[in-house]
Structure 1
Amino acid sequence: MATPASVKRSQSPTKPPLFNRQFYRWWKVRMRDYLMDEDIEVWNVICEGPSVPTMEVKDGEVTRVIVKTRQQYNDADKRLVEKNHKARKLLMCGISMNEYDLISYCELAKEIWDLLRTTYEGTEEIKKSKLDLVTTQFESFTIKEGESIHEMHTRFSTITNKLMFLEEPVPVCKQVSKILEILPRSWTNEFVIGDETRDLK
C-alpha cells in the first residue's frame, strides 16, 4: 500500500505536514508541533488571535483606546501584525488545493485553524454527543448470537478506535477486562488455551 503524500511530506523537518481531507487528527498534532517549533508566537496567534495595535487618545479629560491605522504602526506593531501573516502562510502551505475553497476567505490564521477543526471534528457540543454515544456503545458492548471471535473483535476495535479519535482512549487493561467480562465460558476457555504459549501482555 502506497504511503499517503501527506505522510511522506510530514517526515520533512523543513516543510509543514500536508492535509488532504484525510487523517485530520494526525495532521493537527503534527502541524501544531511544526508551528511551535517554527515560532512559538505564531502558535499563540493561531490559538488566541492576532494582536491589534492600539493607542490612547485624550479627548478633554477622557482617555480612549482606539485601533491604530497602518500609517501609525511603529516597528513593534509591525512585528506583531506580521505574526498573523506568517501563521496564515504556514497554514496555507500545509493545506492541499482540495481545502482551499473552504478557507480561502479567512483573513486570520485563527479563523483557518478553527474552521478546519469545526469541519473535521465538529463543535464541542457535537464532540461531546459523539463521545457520549460511543462511550455507551463501549459500556453496553455484548456478543451477538452466532458471532465469531473475529467478528466480535472487529466490532469492539471499531468502538475503541472511535474513542481514541475522540481523544478518550481506553486503556488496554480496561479493554481486556471488558472482553473477559462478556465472553461465554466456552470462548474464555478457547481464549486461554490459544494464549498459553504467548505473552498475554
Structure 2
Amino acid sequence: MPTSEVKDGETTGIVPKNRQQYSEADKKNTEKGYRAKKMLVCGIGAEEYNRVSACELAKDIWDCLRTSHEGTEQVKESKVDMLSSQYENIRMKEGKTIHDMYTKLSSITNDLRCLGETISTSKQVSKVLRIHPKSWESKVDAITEAKDLKVLRMDGLIGNLKTYEMTRSQDLSKKESKKDKSLVLKFSP
C-alpha cells in the first residue's frame, strides 16, 4: 500500500495514502503487487497456503515460502556444509556403474546450486576423474593426457566413460565364457 510521510508537529511518521492520493506510479505498483501475490497464492498447495494466508504482501509470502523450504540462513549453511562434505567424499565403488555415480554426483551438485553454491564444470570433470577405482586408472590417465580438462564438457566425459564401461563389461564377459569353456574336460575309460 502506498504511503506518504506526514509531519505532525515534531513527530514524523509514515501514514498510508488514501485512494485519492495515489499517483499513477502508486497504482501500477499496487497492481503489480496484487498480481504477484495472486501468482504466488495460485501456485501453492493448501498446506503452504495455510502458512502464508496471513501475509499481506507478495514479498512477505515469498519470504515465508523461502524460509519454509530452504530454512533459515543457519539451516542453509548447514545444508551447504553437509552437501559439500558429501561431494568431497564421494567415490565410485568397484562394481558400480558410471550412471549410478553420475546420478549421485549430479544430485549433490544440483542441490548445492539451489543453495547458491555452484561448482564449475572443470572442477566437476576433475572430480569425476578422481573418484574412479584403481581398475579404471588406465582410462582416467588416457583421458587426462588426451583431453583439455578445462574445456571438456561433462556430457562428453560421461559418454566416453560409459563407452569404456560397456567395452570393459563385454571383455569381462568374454573372459568369463572362456574360463567356463576351458574347464570342460573329456574323460574316457
TM range, normalised to the smaller chain? 0.5 to 0.7
Overall identity of the aligned pairs, in %: 39
The alpha carbon displacement at 1:113 in A equals: 0.7
- Distance (whole Å) between structure 1 residues aligned to residue 156 and residue 31 of structure 2: 56
- Distance (whole Å) between structure 1 residues aligned to residue 114 and residue 70 of structure 2: 9
Q: Aligned to 1:167, what secondary structure does the other structure show?
A: coil
Q: Which has the larger radius of gyration?
A: 2
Correspondence for 2:15: 67
Correspondence for 1:54: 4
Question: How does the TM-score come out when normalised to structure 1?
Answer: 0.56
| Number of equivalenced pairs | 145
RMSD between superposed Cα atoms in Å: 3.4
- Kept in 1, the 8 Å contact 2:109–2:119? The answer is yes
Q: Aligned to 1:65, what secondary structure does the other structure show?
A: strand
Alignment deviations for residues 16-48 of structure 1 (CA, whole Å, 9 cap, x no partner):
xxxxxxxxxxxxxxxxxxxxxxxxxxxxxxxxx
Give the gaps of 5 or more residues in structure 1.
1-50
Q: What one-letter code is carried by the residue in structure 2 that aligns with 1:174?
A: K
- Kept in 2, the 8 Å contact 1:53–1:67? The answer is yes
The alpha carbon displacement at 1:142 in A equals: 2.8
- Kept in 1, the 8 Å contact 2:2–2:22? The answer is no
Structure possessing the higher relative contact order (Cα contacts under 8 Å, 6 or more residues apart): 1
Correspondence for 1:93: 42
- Kept in 2, the 8 Å contact 1:160–1:169? The answer is yes
Q: 1:66 to 1:187 in 2, by over 3 A?
A: closer
Q: Aligned to 1:54, what secondary structure does the other structure show?
A: strand
Question: How does the TM-score come out when normalised to structure 2?
Answer: 0.59
- Kept in 2, the 8 Å contact 1:180–1:188? The answer is no
Q: 1:156 to 1:92 in 2, by over 3 A?
A: closer
- Distance (whole Å) between structure 1 residues aligned to residue 92 and residue 40 of structure 2: 45
